[in-house]
């Protein structure tokens, strides 16, 4: 049985200077209550790994607005003007990563791999500062793995063993992030007393350390 904790208890597991992964695509499949606790606790100097920085008034977007993030490794920032403003002012380091490459870097981190070779970004600004490897006459960028101190993920439904079911597009980055952090906190809309049907388990409980309802 997984340890069930409150959002407030989950918030205390994140510390200044941590690297955190946050699942979700904009507001779809995001653990909002735990992020609220990070905001309330004023935890700062964070490195954020996520698909995006959401909107200024919601979940991880609030972390940006409150200047709690020192670096964001994300796929896009267009929906949060404050991210772009801080980046252009030199107040926030932003590493923009193509979405497929971002997912693969996280997957590599979870699998213990040394990186992934991808042709995406060859010959563009994405290539700057990276190792280029040629194979069979084609150039690839070596994209290094990403890991985190804490992954905050979402589940539509969970059982007391930590198994998660994610409905539809809420799966997005939650699945790969569950494998790539030292501590995984899953926030679920519903926690069932009975075990989930194995056929509906999206993320096995072996990857989950704490459950938050």
pLDDT of residue 6: 96
pLDDT of residue 2: 81
Neighbours of 194 (CB within 10 A): 7
Closest C-alpha among 145, 144, 163 to residue 155: 163
Token pair in block for residue 90: 């030199």
DSSP label of 25: B
Task: Please state, in angstroms and rounded to a whole number, the distance separating the CA atoms of residues 158 and 139.
Answer: 43
Distance CA 118, CA 142 (A): 7
Q: What is the pLDDT of residue 179?
A: 98
Give pLDDT, residue 149: 98
Mean pLDDT, the chain, integer: 96
Q: What pLDDT score does 1 carry?
A: 75
Q: What pLDDT was estimated at residue 204?
A: 97
Residue numbers in the chain where pLDDT is lower than 50: none
Q: Which domains, and CATH codes, for the chain? A: 3-113+147-212 (3.40.1080.10)
Assigned token pair, 188:
């679920």
Based on its alpha-carbon atoms, the radius of gyration of the chain, rounded to whole angstroms, reads 17
Comparing CA positions, the residue from 34, 32, 27, 40 lying closest to residue 66 is 40
Contact assessment for residue 150 and residue 20, using Cβ atoms and an 8 Å cutoff: yes
pLDDT tens digits, 103-137: 999 999 999 999 999 999 999 988 999 999 999 99
Residue 192: strand pairing partners: 159
């Amino acid at each position: 049985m997984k340890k069930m904790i409150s959002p407030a208890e989950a918030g205390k597991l994140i510390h200044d200077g941590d690297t955190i992964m946050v699942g979700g695509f904009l507001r779809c499949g995001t653990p909002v209550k735990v992020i609220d606790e990070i905001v309330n606790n004023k935890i700062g100097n964070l490195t954020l790994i996520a698909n995006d920085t959401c909107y200024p008034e919601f979940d991880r977007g609030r972390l940006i607005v409150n200047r709690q993030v020192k670096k964001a490794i994300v796929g896009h920032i267009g929906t949060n003007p404050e991210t772009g403003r801080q980046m252009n002012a030199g107040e926030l380091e932003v590493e923009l990563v193509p979405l497929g490459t971002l997912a693969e870097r996280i997957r590599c981190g979870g699998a213990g791999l040394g990186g992934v070779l991808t042709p995406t970004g060859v010959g563009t600004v994405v290539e700057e500062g990276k190792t280029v490897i040629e194979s069979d006459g084609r150039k690839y960028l070596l994209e290094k793995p990403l890991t985190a101190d804490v992954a905050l993920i979402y589940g539509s439904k969970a059982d007391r063993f930590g198994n998660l079911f994610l409905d539809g597009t809420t799966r997005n980055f939650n699945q790969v992030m569950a494998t790539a952090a030292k501590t995984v906190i899953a926030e679920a809309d519903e926690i069932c007393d009975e075990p989930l049907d194995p056929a509906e388990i999206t993320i096995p409980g072996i990857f989950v350390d704490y459950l938050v309802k």
